[in-house]
Structure 1
Amino acid sequence: MTANPLDDLRPLCRDEAAFEQLQQVLAQREASREQSQLDEVRQAQRTQILEAQRQAAEAASQAKSRFLAMISHELRTPLNAVLGLSALLSRQVVGPLNAKQAEYLDYIHGSGEHLLAIISDILDLSKVETGQEHLRLAEVSLAELCQTCLAMVQPQAAEKGLTLSYQGSAEVSTCLADERRLRQMLLNLLSNAVKFTYRGQIALAVRRCGAQIEFQVSDTGIGIPADQLEHIFQPFTQLDRGLNRQYDGTGLGLALTRQLAQLHGGHLRVESQVGRGSQFFLRLPLQGPAASGAARPTVRLGQNDLRLVLIDNDLDHHRALVAYVRTCGWQVTGCRSWAEVQQYLRAHRPDLVIVGDREARNLALGDYLKQLKPPQVAQPIKVAILRPNDLALDTLADADAYIDLPLTIAKLERVLSL
């Protein structure tokens, strides 16, 4: 039996009961200290495991994007021959064709063009996800662009007897954006609306919302179940997942459109009812991303006066984010509660507040974010929210940016450029 270190003091204590009580108190404190040390070790192990899992997930995501980009490039080469030679044969440059041969060639060429469109979507999505997509910003005429997009889907709409309509905005006629990418986003939304609508109309409306421009595409189609509203923005996801799907497509259009919206500093959300149609809302900054004069948003580096506040109840979960931001020259302060944020605001004004994905689920988040806007503060403070994959965008509080997880360097750089 191990000797009790207090036994030597027993002769000096006149009260045996008090001595026994002292021993019990000290034993309890020792047990509590050992338990605390054990808890710290376990917490450190959990943090290491979570960090390893996060790094593995990010590495897997980047590897997937690199693979898709590589294989898509490889597929394009033989497609050039398929499309080029089928077009030449269709024009009968090597001899006349009978009706059946012409029919088959048209089918081959159409299928090749469809495959090329799919490959292009995969390439675009992988480029955005890996931060390789650079915007080419310019003044875009909204009315002209919208009318062009409607004209491009008019033949498909006419085949189904659908009516197309456009409602412009008298408040704004232009916006700063990548015209090719903006056209691509609108065409994706309009094409989807035509695809999933049997009767009725497709409407495109443009309006100004403060410093943002909103494009609303509405249809009277089949609608989307409530439990699928966020899943449709995931790559390769469609409503009809059966082997004999009624609707063609890969499910890349909406995923790409949301990524391109975020690249512009905007976001995309949807409202829908089954059997009554859907409304997609695409919001973009009127003046483009923060670094509107550059080909891509520029991260503000080496400015030690830039302050960032990260609010989340588990700051260890964001160690990689904090480390990178600090290497960019920012001062980073982590807060586990909004009381800590308020205390920080009494002494400093942050340039950016990032709400972690755990805090994003806080039902009172909207009220807390109002503390970062006038009249609570003299100047509004930029806010970005890390959005969990299972959390619908329209359930989140208003923010300047929403970043889908997993968080990559490219996505983080866009946040820092706000």
Structure 2
Amino acid sequence: MIRMHSLRQKLAAVVMLTTLASLLVSVAILIAYDLRHYHRALLGDMSTQAELLGHMTSAALSFDDQRLAAENLALLRIRPQVRAGAIYNARGELFASYAAPGEAREFPAKARADGVQIEGSNLFLYRRIIENGELLGTVYLRAEYALVSRTLDYIGVALLITMVAMLLALLLTRRLGRIVTAPIFAIAEVAREVVSTRDYSRRAPRTSTDEAGELVDSFNAMLTEIEQRTGELETSNRAIAREAEERARAQQEVMRLNEQLEVRVHERTLQLETANAELELAMEEAKEANQAKSAFLSAMSHELRTPLNAILGFAQILTSDSLPSTLPQKKEFAGHILKSGRHLLTLINEILDLAKVEAGAVNLSLEPVELGDVLGECRSMIEPIAAERGIRVLFPDACETVVEADRTRLKQVLLNLLSNAVKYNRDAGAVVVDIAFDTPGKVRLSVQDTGLGLRPDQLDMLFQPFNRLGQENSGQEGTGIGLVVTRRLVELMNGTIGVSSRVGVGSVFWIDLPVTVPHALALKEAPPALAQPVEAPEANARHTLLYVEDNPANLKLVEEIVRFRPDLRLMAAQDGHLGIEMARLHRPDLILMDLNLPCVSGIDALRTLRSDPRTAHIPVIALTANAMPRDVERGLAAGFFRYLTKPINIDEFTEAVNSTLAWIDRRAASRKEQQP
């Protein structure tokens, strides 16, 4: 039937059918691709989320820590498509659960095997948690599966697009059809006249410059073809020759491009081979790290069970009626229990320190620290241990160097190096502590022992976690992670650590730390008003000031400043817990608070004070080395009355204390006036 219609109608029909077919195929492909991508992406995302949750909660399942597992599940709140999640233990029992706001907390009673199940608009996923070949539990996730709704939405959008496109195609075809068919109708009219009249002088009018116009020109050219045949043949021959030349040049260009392509393929092959080699090396390193971790866990199991064996064994003897013991024996048994307990605490602290360092949760207070004081404290702690094996420990005679470091962490680093020097030394050996200034602005502190030394291959693995360098069966206690923590702490204090060793001679561990100026120098710039000391400053004190600070040098500086103030009485606390208790007990007028405190940070201590009615009214001034603008903004937003940074500016410190005390006096006077 289509043959009976006009050219315009046929053209319109062809355009409409072509447009419809193209739209249907394109929309169908897009919908199918998007739905397939959505299904795969959702499954991949949920599988990855389940794997991540399983890895994060393996420790919680191992130690039966439901709170940690619930906290890990609570992280699912950032994934809005996850409606609920749960962790099952190895027995298939519900261990911890999470449900998005507004979702029902309905979970299967028992865990199922690995797999994915789709029911309506819900997707259920089960993934087992396996660590070192042991089944620890199962992860359960319930997510929104919107495949049907997306399909309906896409079908509606596809219908709308098809209708609009077909309408536009119909309008454009009617509008443009006349432009396409008009030259053809003109040629047909002239052709009928030429055939009937044999008048070859007639010419068809040219109304366009497209293919229809070319058709008109061709038709007109046919009328003069006889007299122009020779010229046209020559022109055609020249055109063929030019085309042959162009084809030859094109063939040469293709050959050149092929050669370039071969070179590129060769280069890319070399790159892939290099990448594969690097990947194999990385996989080998990961395999070695995993083996070291497994060995570490095995060693830690032995290390933790050894002191527990002594603790539980002697405790059973002390509590047993069938194994009577004398008082000296009980004291001996209690001593063994105490020694094993301390060793167990040391092991746990090392593991916790490594976990904090790896997680970036270590907060340091970088302040001027007198190196001589820290070395003196370390000397008093390490000499009794060394004396038990007849090892001499030699320290520098005098040291007035001041370094920029965290006092507590610096002491931990030095004690770890000294303990290792004693532990792995030979009996009646020596440990030498030395100080050198080889680099401007830096001080090098070295610890040298007379032990067996380390081989080059052992030096390469010295600072790797979970690696004891073959000392597992040497009889020496330890976890093999002390040096890892030591290196990370030194780096956090803007320092460097290194080692040199010779087999049979000994080892030298050294750390470089930046040198700075002590805060005590600021006392020389004190204003004249503070230059006259008072004999009994606390006798006439009107206000009580509590300073919470763990650094003795900083505490001494504030004591010296306040010593010239007869109206102030100073109390001090070395950590956040003690500061909170002293504030509750003594009710000071003003509190100075460091932020980087052991046990409880200054921010947390401030929250505790604000939540207690007994201390909520006491103004707290932050006095800290965190001097970045964002730190100041965060401190003021947390509720500090003022925010002072170290090193202390005495004028600024005095102004802050005076203005705060004046505010306290005005508040007290206002309350008295309001009383009847």
- What TM-score, normalized to structure 1? 0.51
Cα distance in 2 between the residues matched to 1:220 and 1:160:
13
* Structure 1 partner of 2:382: 153
Q: Does 2:343 align with 1:114?
A: yes
2:401/2:515 contact within 8 Å kept: no
Structure 2 residue aligned with 1:133, among 359, 362, 371?
362
* Structure 2 partner of 1:179: 407
Q: Does 2:529 align with 1:280?
A: no
* Identity over aligned pairs, percent: 35
Structure 1 segment 169-208 matched on structure 2, within 5 A: 172-198=400-426, 199-208=428-437
* Structure 2 partner of 1:217: 447
* Post-superposition CA distance 1:222-242 (Å, at most 9, x none): 111111113121122223345
* Post-superposition CA distance 1:53-109 (Å, at most 9, x none): 99xx8xx99xx9xxx9xx9xxx9xxx9xx89x97xx89xxxx995333333332222
Structure 1 segment 226-305 matched on structure 2, within 5 A: 226-242=456-472, 244-287=473-516
2:404/2:513 contact within 8 Å kept: no
SS at match of 1:102: helix
Change (3 A) 1:40 1:252: same
Q: Structure 2: any 5+ residue segments left out of the alignment?
A: 1-237, 518-595, 597-622, 632-676
How far residue 264 of structure 1 moved from its aligned partner, in angstroms, is 0.5
Q: Does 2:329 align with 1:100?
A: yes
Change (3 A) 1:166 1:214: same
Q: Structure 1: any 5+ residue segments left out of the alignment?
A: 1-7, 302-418
Change (3 A) 1:277 1:20: same
* Structure 1 partner of 2:147: none
Cα distance in 2 between the residues matched to 1:173 and 1:228:
33
How far residue 273 of structure 1 moved from its aligned partner, in angstroms, is 0.2
Cα distance in 2 between the residues matched to 1:221 and 1:26:
72
Cα distance in 1 between the residues matched to 2:354 and 2:405:
18
How far residue 126 of structure 1 moved from its aligned partner, in angstroms, is 1.5
Change (3 A) 1:10 1:254: farther
Structure with greater contact order relative to length (CA < 8 Å, sep ≥ 6) = 1
SS at match of 1:160: coil
Larger radius of gyration: 2
Structure 1 segment 325-404 matched on structure 2, within 5 A: none
Change (3 A) 1:138 1:14: closer
Q: Does 2:226 align with 1:28?
A: no
| Aligned AA (1:150) | R
Cα distance in 1 between the residues matched to 2:418 and 2:484:
15
Cα distance in 2 between the residues matched to 1:159 and 1:9:
106
1:236/1:251 contact within 8 Å kept: yes
* Post-superposition CA distance 1:330-377 (Å, at most 9, x none): xxxxxxxxxxxxxxxxxxxxxxxxxxxxxxxxxxxxxxxxxxxxxxxx
Cα distance in 2 between the residues matched to 1:239 and 1:112:
26
**Moved >6 Å (runs of 4+):** 37-44
Name the structure with the higher helix share. Answer: 2
2:367/2:625 contact within 8 Å kept: no
Change (3 A) 1:27 1:298: farther
- What TM-score, normalized to structure 2? 0.33
How far residue 201 of structure 1 moved from its aligned partner, in angstroms, is 1.3
Cα distance in 2 between the residues matched to 1:228 and 1:294:
41
How far residue 159 of structure 1 moved from its aligned partner, in angstroms, is 1.5
1:162/1:200 contact within 8 Å kept: yes
Cα distance in 2 between the residues matched to 1:294 and 1:223:
42
Cα distance in 1 between the residues matched to 2:378 and 2:511:
15
SS at match of 1:236: coil
CA RMSD of aligned residues (A): 4.6
Cα distance in 2 between the residues matched to 1:135 and 1:240:
33
| Aligned AA (2:468) | Q
Structure 1 residue aligned with 2:241, among 2, 5, 11?
11
- Report the count of equivalent residues: 259
How far residue 137 of structure 1 moved from its aligned partner, in angstroms, is 2.6
| Aligned AA (1:248) | E
Q: Is 213-222 or 279-288 further displaced after alignment?
A: 279-288
Cα distance in 1 between the residues matched to 2:239 and 2:417:
83
SS at match of 1:167: coil
SS at match of 1:233: coil
Cα distance in 2 between the residues matched to 1:167 and 1:226:
30
